Structure 1
């Protein structure tokens, strides 16, 4: 019994400490080395030391690796012989997301890491459960719903909340965290269109929200769980003992779930009392479909908050930063927004072709979801010849794909919306642009295949409406060192580390 206790103590406490010391020493020793060298692999621990040394720049480090690897695919050796395939090869992306879709699923390790937070919501499930959620949710994205979303929800949120906040910042010469503002805006929008509930998150005063802090903490800690390259057993022991980050995760998830459950309970009450028209929103459809279990519907609510709150706000944050660095692009976006401002609201945003291209180009460089992985349910061979064994995870690296010369040309590092456009008419003499979409397996920003994002068009419409409303009234100026590039980080979805401080200047 004593030996078992000693072994457990070594496994749960000493071993992680040894790894931490080794990784810090390794990080210091390699600080001046070539960042683009392939990672070294050792018996038992695989490439753990390189992984740990690059924890703070994991996205960029893995991008460097796949971009210099043959066929842009690399097999990363992990702890105790486990392996993870990372790819930026479009043929492989198509293989796992479409051709062999039934074979590549949300794996057990991924689901287990996110289950406390996302439960069995649409982003953490497979099979019939996923199909049902997707089928019901799809009704929210028809033309009628999209028009309602733009004309009623987004327009109201802009005029009643966002624009007055920006105007007040001008009057008071106030520095705003624009990333936080955009997250609040997107959160109000998704709650109103999907749940028929207005959290008034963007209403004044803009104090720290307990729910928002809990949601961000739950997202970050769950993400660290799912991307653990050492011992998943470490977070499991911490959870069992209710200590460290797992203690905070338990508290955060409790707050998030209580918030979501209150939305579900209020909607149930409205439906029972007949004060909410049946199927008026997505939540009503789920509750009217016969699947009214509170925990199940709560999982759905949390998943859609994650999708609606963090992805569009991330895309817009990086878009406005890129716009500030590229005045010629900014000028074209402003001119188009002014030209379309006289059109009906829905037609205005639908026809903002140049802005649509500028947003696509921004997401190429800074995708809201920079990496996504699927677990193989059986042995397989990828199109580039990589052997995949059952249980291995194949991760497609969206961030790296946006930086591939073979996909985007030698000028891939330039922010260039024109790469998405061509002149209308065979002669090319027309002054009107036509948007040319890229192959979704070369540009999987919205995933691809059967799991392609349902909210893609809604996201573009919302973003274009926000851009048009802001750039015709204000100039967004980063309040940071002129040459400093913000750090791109990702916890399930990407963020600008430390927020996006800006000054707002009036154009009036």
Structure 2
């Protein structure tokens, strides 16, 4: 009954749209050199385009951008772009005009509260300054690697060895997500949920609640109108009930960690984010809770997604995997630490080719492939595109990574060498390579993410052969661009 009531207006609207589309005949689609504005229908504008392509938004927008001579397409009230000059204008030059939209903020509020990823203005700036100070300390980088090393040596590598000996098929995406969740919770709360080893009932509960809250919030965001999920929440429909229950679990555990840390605050000497944010006593429990949930989300989703695509690509590029192994061997020989299972921070920084290979994988498969910003007032982008007040400008790291004008004719190829010059890694402008965003909202955890990805990739590649046993390559858009169906692999231990 509830579902019928909820979707009756939508069904009536779709019927009207279908009748209107049949009435107004459309001309043939424009040629590639003509597509700058996608024409809408009389009265109902571009709504049919969004309804038709709502479940394949990434493919649709990438195709539109590729067909545009400027790399920008207007589908009012949206502008999709892969033009670096437009990106720079939106995220830096005219930053104040392009905050996160109110609809997005309200959609994610139950999950992220007013955390750093779901706030604007002074509220965002305060969290950004607080977090920026902590992310730029040497002690944090050492702490990050220490946690990665512990999790890799004591859980990940033994798990892979057991799988190699038994011949079982592992879902590498699931393994990497559990590894990342353990790691980020240790970094954020100083608490280890032990999800990779599945040793803690409370940790499993936290892990599944976080996953469900993520998926249900994204389902909200996919609705054509925010009013739909708001009515669903008012009616206590199943999806909204499950989201509420998941958030009760998450808030309960996070608040438990906060209270526990307050009692032990006099001990000092702890390096996790919770201890750092509580050190000066200036922040409320709600402030701390929301910003820490945002950090867990970033660490849980982005690095395992990136590594899943990385190992999928390497399964068809054995020469790249071999070159990475040769680099590891050379560095170990130079430093003489053959016994350590995880490379040191200095050694990881010397691994330029591995850094290039990871960056190349991120170029083609960015964890966050589309980024929206809402225009507070009328504006004009550098390429002349007009932006109306209240319109959404969405730039696409996914489309930019495949843009011939940015990366050359071989833009569709996986070629780590494009990042190397005389054996040294050469970074790209963040307005061309938008994987870590750019401007004032640029990802604070970029270096931390590279440390984790390189440490995990080096550990696995040095010790194991990874064989993908089922065809994969399709994506599933959740909070990040996960691999649909996971990544089933067989592991074979390599000789030392």
Tell me the TM-score normalized by structure 2: 0.89
Instruction: Find the counterpart in structure 2 of residue 498 from structure 1.
Output: 485
Residue 16 of structure 1: SS of its match in structure 2?
helix
For residues 418-433 of structure 1, the aligned pairs below 5 Å read 418-423=417-422, 433=423
Distance 1:76 1:147, change over 3 A: same
Query: C-alpha deviations, 1:356-403, integer Å up to 9, x for none?
Result: 000000000000111111111222111111222222111111100001
Query: C-alpha deviations, 1:130-168, integer Å up to 9, x for none?
Result: 222122222333352354235421111110010000001
**Matches of 2:208 and 2:285 in 1, distance apart?**
24
Instruction: Find the counterpart in structure 1 of residue 161 from structure 2.
Output: 167
**Matches of 1:486 and 1:52 in 2, distance apart?**
25
Instruction: Find the counterpart in structure 1 of residue 389 from structure 2.
Output: 390
Query: C-alpha deviations, 1:233-273, integer Å up to 9, x for none?
Result: 111111111114222222222222222222222222221xx
For residues 82-481 of structure 1, the aligned pairs below 5 Å read 83-142=77-136, 144-204=138-198, 209-228=204-223, 230-271=224-265, 274-277=266-269, 280-341=271-332, 343=335, 345-423=344-422, 433-481=423-471
**Matches of 1:26 and 1:257 in 2, distance apart?**
47
Distance 1:45 1:166, change over 3 A: farther
Deviation at 1:87, TM superposition (A): 0.9
What is the alpha-carbon root mean square deviation over aligned residues? 2.8
**Matches of 2:484 and 2:307 in 1, distance apart?**
15
**Matches of 2:268 and 2:263 in 1, distance apart?**
9
Is the contact made by 2:65 and 2:82 (CA closer than 8 Å) also made in structure 1?
A: yes
Single out whichever of 359-368 and 168-177 deviates more from structure 2: 168-177
**Matches of 1:412 and 1:467 in 2, distance apart?**
24
Deviation at 1:121, TM superposition (A): 0.4
Distance 1:471 1:23, change over 3 A: farther
Deviation at 1:406, TM superposition (A): 0.7
**Matches of 1:52 and 1:209 in 2, distance apart?**
37
**Matches of 2:235 and 2:353 in 1, distance apart?**
54
Deviation at 1:338, TM superposition (A): 2.3
Which of 13, 17, 23 in structure 1 is aligned with 2:7?
Answer: 13
Is the contact made by 2:54 and 2:222 (CA closer than 8 Å) also made in structure 1?
A: no
Residue 503 of structure 1: SS of its match in structure 2?
strand
Single out whichever of 17-26 and 138-147 deviates more from structure 2: 17-26
**Matches of 1:182 and 1:372 in 2, distance apart?**
24
Deviation at 1:345, TM superposition (A): 0.9
Query: C-alpha deviations, 1:164-183, integer Å up to 9, x for none?
Result: 00001111111111111111
Deviation at 1:206, TM superposition (A): 9.6
Query: C-alpha deviations, 1:26-71, integer Å up to 9, x for none?
Result: 99xxxxx999997663245433333333333221111111121241
**Matches of 1:206 and 1:176 in 2, distance apart?**
21
Is the contact made by 2:464 and 2:493 (CA closer than 8 Å) also made in structure 1?
A: yes
Is the contact made by 1:140 and 1:194 (CA closer than 8 Å) also made in structure 2?
A: no
**Matches of 1:24 and 1:200 in 2, distance apart?**
51
Note the residue ranges of structure 1 that are not aligned, 5 or more in a row: 1-8, 28-32, 78-82, 424-432
Note the residue ranges of structure 2 that are not aligned, 5 or more in a row: 22-27, 336-342
Is the contact made by 2:193 and 2:204 (CA closer than 8 Å) also made in structure 1?
A: no
State the number of aligned residues: 475
Is the contact made by 1:186 and 1:312 (CA closer than 8 Å) also made in structure 2?
A: yes
**Matches of 1:253 and 1:495 in 2, distance apart?**
22
Residue 325 of structure 1: SS of its match in structure 2?
coil
Residue 296 of structure 2: SS of its match in structure 1?
helix
**Matches of 2:253 and 2:4 in 1, distance apart?**
40
**Matches of 2:45 and 2:280 in 1, distance apart?**
48
Is the contact made by 2:184 and 2:296 (CA closer than 8 Å) also made in structure 1?
A: yes
